[in-house]
Structure 1
Amino acid sequence: MTHSSHQQEMRDAARHVGRRRFLTATGAAAALAFSVNLPAAGTASAAELDGRRIGEDPFTLGIASGDPQPDSVLLWTRLAPRPYETGSGLPQSRVEVSWELAHDEHFSRIVQRGSATAHPEFNHSVHVEVKGLEADRVFYYRFRSGTWISPAGRTRTAPAPDARNSALRLAAVSCQAYHDGYFTAYKHLAQEDVDVVFHLGDYLYEYAVDATGGARNYTDRKLPARFNRETVTLEDYRLRYGLYKSDPDLRAAHAAHPFVVTWDDHETENNYAGDTPENGVPPEEFLLRRAAAYRAYWENQPLRTPQQPSGPDMKLYRRLQFGRLAQFDILDTRQYRSDQAYGDGWHKPGPESEDPSRTLTGATQERWLLDGWHASRATWNVVPQQVAFAQRRDVPTDAYLLSMDAWDGYPASRDRILKGAGAAGIDNLMVLTGDVHVGYGFDLKKDFDDPSSRTVGTEIVATSITSGKDGTDKPAGWNNQMRANPHMKFFNGRRGYAVITLGLKQARADYRTVSAVTTPGAPVTTAGSFVTEVGNQGLTPA
């Protein structure tokens, strides 16, 4: 049997596993027991619960919007009166949820209203695609179930495809380990004047969270013991989203801005590659876990119907247009990648990592990206994705190592992308990145081994929201990396986010950081600001 046919056989098995089928792993892994092929939304598989019988606030996880298009917005919520409990405090019943979209925050000028069903099969999540809207407009929205009314959210549509818009302000965020600290950066982001937020992966972590919330060190409450284990089953992942999304600062950021999300590894398991898990778990068992993680991800994110998963597969890469100013090609560098070379850590490059057949995106997604660039008329072509794109040597000697989990472990794949951008005539390429828990600013070089080679784009790496705890301005390895990589223009290890302003003449990146996340309430400052000019790529201090 070929590798591809074996993969398909495992996917089919994961997609059709029954409710009572158990796969028992060795060691500490829990039995996997869930149905991947649950009924679709709209099936009358459960009785209906009158929302007036819900005795506690069901909107504990807030509201969200995402993937703005010129004529539509996607609105999200999930009913969860008790988000820390299995079932979230609701019976296995359908619940009708009404929604409103208005021009004003007081909802005196209603644009549209309607209702949707929160199905138990989808953990009582609601995804509403509101269509027929005016382009490039701010809207306000809210939900109602019974007597309960959700907080209000603010969202906006994208400019029309042919609009000659002159400015777009966005934020890039990543890596929010709950157990590493408070989401203070989100409190500040909620107050920023941005059009859209790109989340670049590691929205949650699969690792155990103890009773005190890890570095949060709660003294006024204790988290349930069910969080103090690694996520494996569908219920594990659902509960973990309940924990994360109950954070008030994260809820505030979602309410203030539309989000465009993509995952990295921790939404499923650390450093997985395609159908290959981090540890020696059988692939067919890992695909069951992946199916659970992907389903919970869709249930808890403001994603549209095309992103709804099918078993262990989910098409997350997609394209958004913001007028003639910017095209965003959102990548998934985890689901289709070749397994990491030489393990998944730092290693000297060699024949295995430099094999030209290796891919980080998979052939289909790579072709989709290059074809999209050939058709692009945008001034800026921006690629929100997960792992460090630019070359990143750890020391300035011939003994340097590279990260095998990043694009450095897939240099042929990176070279095809850069050559494809050149062939498509992409003059203003910007890559947005998360994953590494530091803020970087890179010039993208035609040949990273030749510092004098042409700069073909820029990369803005957003630091983590909390992962890595408080961090420092100059983390370990700062001197070595700055010396080893002449194309590295910025390196800071504090927590926070990046704000990028795209214009007709230049783009500006502001690295916003907080002094601490292990204690709440830290102020935000700007650790560095850089610009890159249209038609003359390369970061210079602002």
Structure 2
Amino acid sequence: MTHAQQHDDELRSAARHFGRRRFLTVTGAAAALAFAVGLPAAGAASAAELNPGRVTENPFTLGVASGDPLPGSVLLWTRLAPRPYEADGGLPRSRVTVHWELAHDERFTRTARRGRVTAHPEFQHSVHVEIDHLDHDRVYFYRFRVGDWISPVGRTRTAPAPGARISGLTLAAVSCQAYHDGYFTAYGHLAREDVDVVFHLGDYLYEYAVNATGGARAYTDRRLPAVFDRETITLEDYRLRYALYKSDPDLQAAHAAHPFVVTWDDHETENNYAGGTPENGVPPEEFLLRRAAAYRAYWENQPLRRPQQPEGADMRLYRRLRFGRLAQFDVLDTRQYRSDQAYGDGWQVPGPESEDPRRTMIGATQERWLLDGWRDSRALWNVLPQQVVLAERRNAPTADFKLSMDSWDGYPASRQRVLDGAAAAGVENLMVLTGDVHVGYGLDIKADHRDPGSRTLGTEIVATSIASGKDGADRPANYDALTRANPHMRFFNGRRGYVTVTLGRDGARADFRTVSAVTTPGAPVATAGSFVTEVGDPGLKPA
């Protein structure tokens, strides 16, 4: 089968998927490729294999990564791109053999496993290597090789055995890294932190244009190509945008230092989209093509396992990870299945439309999966990594307060079903990890947020942005209004950074780590606030 014939088959397959929906000439050719997401058997047959000796430039410009640690198993990622700012990454449309190595030590004197994998052009020469039958709860080091080129060394780990009674676990939570808003300085500091795993809670990239000087980075010694100075629409656009973001040295350092567990929010596709509904009034078929392209590029550029491989415009990103008997992590997707935002989105006075019991944030199937998982959980801590603020968040201490229709406040019936399900399952130590809002919050989750004396059901740790919002401030302009309106808000800081959380047998500690600036590189990191919550006694207290 020729490449042209394969492309025609992909278009026909996509057309069948959408029935009578029309394809737009602007996005059809590139985005239709997002529907051919199975293993590229036909592509493998038609694409020749590249002699590694012909790779004359470093193919590992986008670094290495690992993700989703399981008991006795690691997932390794890289993507070959000698010229990352070119549409083809600087490689011909050929298969490339990539050798990988896993070792017990950073110098690779004690090899644990080695093998090889094919990087297919259909997946932009990305590779996802799943290695099983390893030791439980063990740190490993890894690297890749193409010809004479050797990648940077990455550090990863396996999860403890099921049922293992481990004494502690330290995680980091990050979110929202708008390249054009500043440097990823916080990632450089996170790379040096002693954490077991990093949870990325969404907005890994932004669809907005990045000008030649890198926006707020204000480059004077380099110029970015014009391909970035436009909004991402096509599969090529999204692939190139990931190349720009992943070329950042601080982001590469964090990925090399720690395994990541990723989930998306909106900007990986389009601002504030809801399920199949775009932010702007474009035809549904056009948006679903765009969503398919975005999901395809997300899979190609993230350390994800096979069950997360997309199918057309759909991708099951919600999943469950366990660290022995200490913690169960139920990673949510609050974008793909949600009802459209009430009252046209934004901050609105709540009412019958937002409070409609039929509205959902996560969809019926994901909701059942979550509640069933809690019923079966034997973990001490049940942690919910997800995207948007779950606790109520009034904008003013007045009777005519408004709520964000894009957060769980716009879906209160869905929130109540989730919290009722946690209570019915006997979840006593619930912790929610959140991103999205470009500030750090520490929140108590209340049975009735409008009654400060009501029972505390859990804690919510909101990680500020890596760069989005530029430098920020310790006390944003709405600090007094929000803290007065929300007595369950125990912490509020508007600088950039990340949060580390240590889970133990008796309690947990959260440290909000911030940098003083992101519009200039090299800012130091400091701890803006530290809080603890005790096992069996939810709620945040100053450490």
Same fold (TM over 0.5): yes
**Aligned ranges 1:419-434 → 2 under 5 Å:** 419-434=420-435
Deviation at 1:34, TM superposition (A): 3.9
Question: What corresponds to 1:296 in structure 2?
Answer: 297
Deviation readout 1:296-316 (Å, 9 max, x if unpaired): 000000000000000100000
What letter is aligned with 2:154?
A: G
Kindly provide the amino acid, as one letter, of the partner of residue 35 in structure 1: L
Q: Is the 8 A contact 2:71 2:158 kept in 1?
A: yes
Is the aligned partner of 1:480 residue 2:481? yes
**Distance in 2, Cα, partners of 1:401 & 1:394:** 6
C-alpha distance in 1 between matches for 2:116 and 2:38: 18
What is the CA-CA distance between 1:22 and the residue it aligns to? 5.2
TM-superposed CA distance for 1:12, in Å, is 7.7
- CA 1:103 to 1:484, structure 2 compared with 1: closer, same or farther past 3 Å? same
Distance 2:133 2:75 in 1: 12
Which residue in the other structure is 2:5 paired with?
A: none
> What is the CA distance between 1:37 and its match in structure 2?
2.8
1:128-207 matches, within 5 Å, as 128-207=129-208
- Tell whether the 8 Å contact from 2:397 to 2:484 is kept in structure 1 after alignment: yes
Q: Kindly report which structure 2 residues correspond to 1:215-254, keeping only aligned pairs within 5 A, or say none.
A: 215-254=216-255
Task: Give the unaligned 5+ runs of structure 1.
Answer: 1-10
Please name the residue that 1:521 is paired with.
522
| Aligned match of 2:355 | 354
Closer, same or farther: CA 260–39 of 1 in aligned 2, 3 Å: closer
Q: Alpha carbons of 1:291 and 1:410: their partners in 2 closer, same or farther (altered >3 Å)?
A: same
CA deviation digits over 1:214-247, x for unaligned, max 9?
0000000100001000000000000000000000
- Structure 1 distance, partners of 2:267, 2:73, is 30
Q: How much does 1:50 deviate?
A: 1.3
Q: Return closer, same or farther for 1:16/1:419 CA change in 2, 3 Å cut-off.
A: closer
Q: Is the 8 A contact 2:31 2:290 kept in 1?
A: no
Distance 2:201 2:345 in 1: 20
The reply to whether residue 385 of structure 1 matches residue 383 of structure 2 is no
SS at 1:186 equivalent: helix
Q: CA deviation at 1:476?
A: 1.5
* Matched AA of 2:303: P
- Distance between the aligned counterparts of 1:374 and 1:38, measured in 2? 37
Cα distance in 2 between the residues matched to 1:363 and 1:405 = 18
* 1:275 aligned onto 2:273: no
In structure 1, the partner of 2:493 is: 492
SS of match in other structure, 1:107: coil
Q: Distance in 2 between matches of 1:159 and 1:446?
A: 33
Alpha-carbon contact 2:501-2:508 (below 8 Å) kept = yes
SS of residue matched to 1:513: strand
- Cα distance 1:30–1:368, how it changes in 2: closer, same or farther (>3 A)? closer
Structure 1 residue 17: Cα displacement: 7.9
| Aligned-pair CA distance for 1:449 | 1.3
Q: Percent identity?
A: 77
- 1:98–1:144 contact (8 Å) kept in structure 2: yes
Residues 14 and 288 of structure 1 are in contact (CA less than 8 Å); yes or no, is this contact kept in structure 2?
no
CA positional deviation for 1:483: 0.3
Q: TM-score, normalised by structure 2?
A: 0.95
Confirm or deny that 1:35 pairs with 2:36.
Answer: no
Deviation at 1:35, TM superposition (A): 2.0
Aligned amino acid, residue 449 of structure 2: F
State the Cα distance separating 1:38 from its structure 2 match. Answer: 2.7
Supply the RMSD in Å over aligned alpha carbons: 1.7
Match of 1:265 in 2: 266
Q: Is the 8 A contact 1:268 1:294 kept in 2?
A: yes
CA distance 1:100–1:499, change in 2 (3 Å): same
Asked if 1:446 is matched to 2:447, the reply is yes
Contact 1:15–1:312 (8 Å) recurs in 2: no
1:373 counterpart letter in structure 2:
W
Deviation of the 1:36 alpha carbon: 2.5
How many pairs are equivalent?
528
Query: Does 2:102 correspond to 1:101?
Result: yes
Alpha-carbon contact 1:17-1:36 (below 8 Å) kept? no
Superposed CA offset, 1:10-57 (max 9, x none)? x98467589xx95046xxx99865422336335223110011210100
Q: Secondary structure at the match of 1:87?
A: coil
**Residue identity matched to 2:326:** L
How far apart, CA to CA, are the structure 2 residues paired with 1:196 and 1:33? 33
Give the structure 2 partner of residue 7 of structure 1.
none
Q: Aligned to 2:482, what secondary structure does the other structure show?
A: helix
Residue in 2 that maps onto 1:330: 331
Distance 2:336 2:443 in 1: 25
Determine helix, strand or coil for the equivalent of 1:489. strand
Indicate conservation of the 8 Å contact 1:14/1:36, yes or no. no
| Aligned residue identity for 1:37 | F
Judging changes above 3 Å, is the alpha-carbon distance between structure 1 residues 177 and 56 closer, same or farther for their aligned structure 2 residues?
A: same
| Distance in structure 1 (CA, Å) of the matches to 2:30 and 2:112 | 45
Matched, 1:503 2:504: yes
Taking structure 1 as reference, are residues 15 and 315 closer, same or farther at Cα in structure 2, changes over 3 Å only? farther
TM-score when scaled to structure 1?
Answer: 0.95
